[in-house]
Structure 1
Amino acid sequence: MVDVGGGPGQELSRFKERHPELSGRFVLQDLPLTLNRIEKLPPGIEAVEYDFFMPQPIKGESAMNRKYTDCDWILGSRLYFLRDVLHNWSDAKSTQILSRIVEAMDPEYSTLIIDDYVLPDTGADLRAAEMDILMWLHTAGLERTVSQWKNLLDTVGLELVKIWSSPRGKESVLETRVRHN
C-alpha cells in the first residue's frame, strides 16, 4: 500500500493499527520537508521522499511478474491511496498527479483509492458549496461533483468502480482501476 502525499502518516498508521494481520509493505510518500517533521513512524511503515508530479517510483507489477532487484521494495503495489489531495488542485494539476499513478499501476493488480469530497451534481448543501468556493480561492482547487470526478478519472484512463459515501459529511471513498479498453 502506497499512501501518496500522506503527510505525517496518520492514515497509514491507523490502517496498520486496525489491521495488524495484513502483511506486505506500507509506504508513506511525501515531500522531504513533511517527512523530516515526523518523529517516528510505526514499525512496518517506510517513508519515501516523493513529489507527486514526478514519475511514481513504486510500480504495481503483479507478484507473478515481479523482477526482483536490490531494491525489491520499489516494486509491487497493489494499492495506491490519496486522501484530501486532489481537492487542493485544479483539474489540470490533478490530471498530472493521477497520470503519474496510472503510469505505475498494473491494470490487473493495482487499485487507486481516493478519499476526498464528492458533491452531488445538483442540490449541494450550503457547507459543501462554501468548501468548494474556499478551495478555489485558497488553492485553485475544487470540491468535485460525481460527474466532475468521472470526467477527471476518465481523462487519465481510470474507471470508477464504486463510491462509498459517509452519511455524516461529503467526504467519500472512490475505488478506481485502470480502464480496460
Structure 2
Amino acid sequence: MPEGPYTPPPNPGRFIIQSMLALRGWLLKLVDTITPPELTIFEHTFAVMRTQMVHVAAKLKLADQLENGPLSAHELALRTGANADVLERMLRALAQLGVFRRQPDGRFANNRISRVLRTGALGGPAFPEYFGSSYHAHAWAELEHTVMTGKSAFEHVHGASFWDYFERHPEHGTVFDEAMSRLTELDAPAVASSPIFREVRKVCDVAGGSGMLLGAILARHDHLHGILFDQPPRLDDARARLRQRNVLSRCELTAGNFFESIPTGADAYLLKDVLHDWDDARSTTILRNCRRAMKPNQRLLIVEMLLTDAPPYPMVNLLDMEMITVCSEGRQRTATQFEALLDDAGFSVRKVHPLPGLTSLIEGVAR
C-alpha cells in the first residue's frame, strides 16, 4: 500500500539544541574537574568497549526484541542465538551506561536511549552497526598511520578506497547507505524548511543517495521538481523511497559520476555531506563540474557541519578525524575554507544559514 504524504519529524530550534549540548558539555567538564585525571583517561580508553557493545546490541536487534516488554538474557539469547551468560553481562554493562534498563527481577527493558536502536526509529540501528563494524574499527586501529602520513588509514588497511571497498562488499555498503540515510533524516526537516526552496523551480541533489533529503524537500514544496543524481545502485533504493513519499512523479533519477559531469537543467544544486568526504583537490573538481552545469546567478547549496573555534559539541571535530582516517583524505571545513573552495570553482558565497542542530547551509551563487 502506498504511504501518505511525508510528514517530517519535528526539529527543535538551533538555539535550543546548541544550548542543550553546551550545557551537557559544561556539566561533563565540571565533572572532569573533580574526577581524578587517571580515571578520566581510563574512561576515554574504555570508549572502544562502549562502541562495540552498542554495535552488537544494534546488530542483534535487541531493542526490537524488547519493544513488547522486558525479557531475560536467557530469553533474548534464545531469540538471537547469543551466549546467554555473555549477553547478560553485556546488557548489564550497557544498562549501567544508561542504554537499556535492568529491572529488579533481572530482566532487561528498553529505555529512551535504547529505543533509538529500534528498526525504523529516528536514528535507527544502522549507524552503530556501521561505526562498530570490524572493517571500520580496523581502520581506526591504524590511526597512527594517518597521523604520521596524512593518508587514509582505511586505504592503508584494506588496500582500497572507502568507496571501492563498498563496491567489493555491497553488503557493507548497504548498511553504510542506511546509516547515512538515517543521519540525513535528522537534518532533512531543517534543510527542507529553508525559504530558498520557495525561490527556485528545480533542484538537483548531487550524490543524493536514497532520496531521503530530496524527498523531504519535494514533499514540503509542491511547486518544486527535482533531479536525484547518484550511482545506479543507490537510485534503485531511492526510487522506492520517493514513490512512498508520493513525489516520484516530480523527480528525475539520473545516474553518473560527479567527478566527470553533473546534470544540467536545474536552477539550484544541492550537496549535503559530500565535500567533507574528499580533499580540497577532489572537492574542487566536484564544484567545478557543478559550475559547468549551471548558469550565472544560479544557487549552489552546501549542507555540512562547520568547524568553529568553539564548537558546542565535540562531534564536529570527531567527524573531522573520521574523514581523514576513513574517507579519501576528507575533512570538515570552516566557513572561510568553504569560501575559498567555492571561489576557486567559480562561485561566490552569498550567505551562511545556521540550521537547527549542528549543520549549516552555505548559499553560493554561480559567477
TM-score past 0.5 threshold: yes
Percent sequence identity is 33
| CA–CA distance in structure 2, aligned partners of residues 127 and 7 of structure 1 | 23
Q: Counterpart in 2 of 1:8?
A: 210
Select which of 235, 243, 247 maps to 1:35: 235
**Match for residue 146 of structure 1?**
335
Q: Secondary structure at the match of 2:306?
A: strand
User: Equivalent residue for 1:45?
Assistant: 251
Larger radius of gyration: 2
Number of aligned residues:
157
**What do residues 33-55 of structure 1 show as CA deviations (whole Å, max 9, x unaligned)?**
21123352332111110211112
Report the alpha carbon displacement of residue 163 of structure 1 after superposing the two structures with TM: 0.5
Instruction: Measure the CA separation in 2 of the matches of 1:39 and 1:95.
Output: 29
Hey, what does 2:272 align to over in structure 1? 83
Which residue identity is paired with 1:15? I
Amino acid at match of 2:211: G
Helix, strand or coil for the counterpart of 1:38? Answer: helix
Aligned to 2:221: 19
SS in structure 1 opposite 2:302?
Answer: strand
Unaligned runs of 5+ in 1: 59-75
**In proportion to residue count, which structure has more helix?**
2
Deviations 1:75-134 (A, max 9, x none): x321111111111111111001000001111003x11111112122x2345322111111
Q: In the alignment, what sits opposite 2:306?
A: 118
CA–CA separation in structure 2 for the residues paired with 1:114 and 1:148: 13
Higher strand share: 1
The CA deviation at 1:56 is: 2.0
Mapped partners of 1:101, 1:154: distance in 2: 13
Relative contact order, higher structure (CA 8 A, sep 6+): 1
Give ranges in structure 2 of 5+ residues lacking alignment.
1-202, 243-247
Bigger Cα displacement from structure 2, 33-42 vs 49-58: 33-42
Scaled by the length of structure 2, what TM-score is found? Answer: 0.41
| Alpha-carbon RMSD | 1.5
Q: Say if 1:87 and 1:117, in contact at 8 Å, map to a contact too.
A: no
Query: Which of 136, 155, 166 lines up with 2:355 in the alignment?
Result: 166
1:165 and 1:173 in contact (8 A); partners too: yes
Runs of 4+ in 1 over 6 A off after TM superposition: none
User: Amino acid of the residue matched to residue 116 of structure 1?
Assistant: E
Give 1:135 deviation, angstroms.
1.1
